[in-house]
Amino acid sequence: MASRTGFFAPCSRLRRARRSDRGSAFVIVLFALVLLTVFALALVSVSQSELQIGANERQIGRMFYAADAGSSIAHARRMVTKLIDPKTFVIPDTNRGLGAGSIRDQVELSMLLPLLNAPCNLCEVNNASPTYDKKFERVNAGQVITAARVGIDAAGKRVPIAQRRVSLMLDLQPVEIVLEKMLKDDAMRETLKPIGQ
């Protein structure tokens, strides 16, 4: 008959080893949960920053298209009404009023400055009649357009949200010459005067 201590000795060592491993599964599961929590928090942070980036892109895109619309307005004002003076347009947000806490888009057109006058080769009206006294030219003009989305706080103070500035050069033809008429205007002469004079 075999002794009890010899036959059951490996089992007792196994039981002692199991007792020493008792909390390891809990520690492994807890470590895995901490890793998953950190991963989830990082994912939430990335998604929030992506949402903010998307909102900023939407605002900047909106301002670019407002400035582009301002260039079309400047072109139409010059061609139809012959006006090249600075102008500001305020476009209220349709979802909010113009009171405190409102948001509006503002497009500022600088003066449409004629840079180069040249003969208009495509203007057949210049050759239509020898007695026709109006002369048309081709004009290259420069302009700066600033589009801004601003909020108005409760105190009535402007709070900038987004801004886009576009510099452009227009090639206008046929254009009736009005620069001489403009330079006779005192207000326009003050606008054209260099800084410091």
> Is residue 13 a part of any domain in this protein?
no
> Is residue 8 a part of any domain in this protein?
no
**pTM to 2 decimals?**
0.59
> Is residue 98 a part of any domain in this protein?
yes
**Mean pLDDT of the 40-68 span:** 89
> Is residue 171 a part of any domain in this protein?
yes
Nearest to 141 by CA among 175, 174, 169, 117: 169
Angstrom distance (rounded) from CA 85 to CA 104: 23
> Is residue 9 a part of any domain in this protein?
no
pLDDT given for residue 34 in this prediction: 95
Q: pLDDT digit string (tens) for 117-151?
A: 877 766 666 666 565 555 677 888 888 999 988 88
**Mean pLDDT of the 158-168 span:** 86
Q: pLDDT digit string (tens) for 4-30?
A: 555 555 666 656 656 666 677 888 899
Q: Which two tokens stand for residue 115?
A: 């840079």
> How many distinct structural domains can be found in the chain?
1
Angstrom distance (rounded) from CA 194 to CA 197: 6
> Is residue 12 a part of any domain in this protein?
no
pLDDT grade for 185, boundaries at 50, 70 and 90: low
Q: Measured on CA atoms in the order 30, 32, 34, 40, is the torsion positive or negative? A: negative
pLDDT given for residue 114 in this prediction: 83
What percentage of the chain exceeds 90 in pLDDT? 11
Nearest to 182 by CA among 174, 191, 172: 191
> Is residue 25 a part of any domain in this protein?
no
Angstrom distance (rounded) from CA 74 to CA 83: 8
Q: Which domain holds residue 93?
A: 36-192
| DSSP 3-state of 135 | coil
| DSSP 3-state of 160 | strand
> Is residue 23 a part of any domain in this protein?
no
Residue 191 has pLDDT above 70, yes or no: no
> Largest alpha-carbon pair distance within the chain?
141
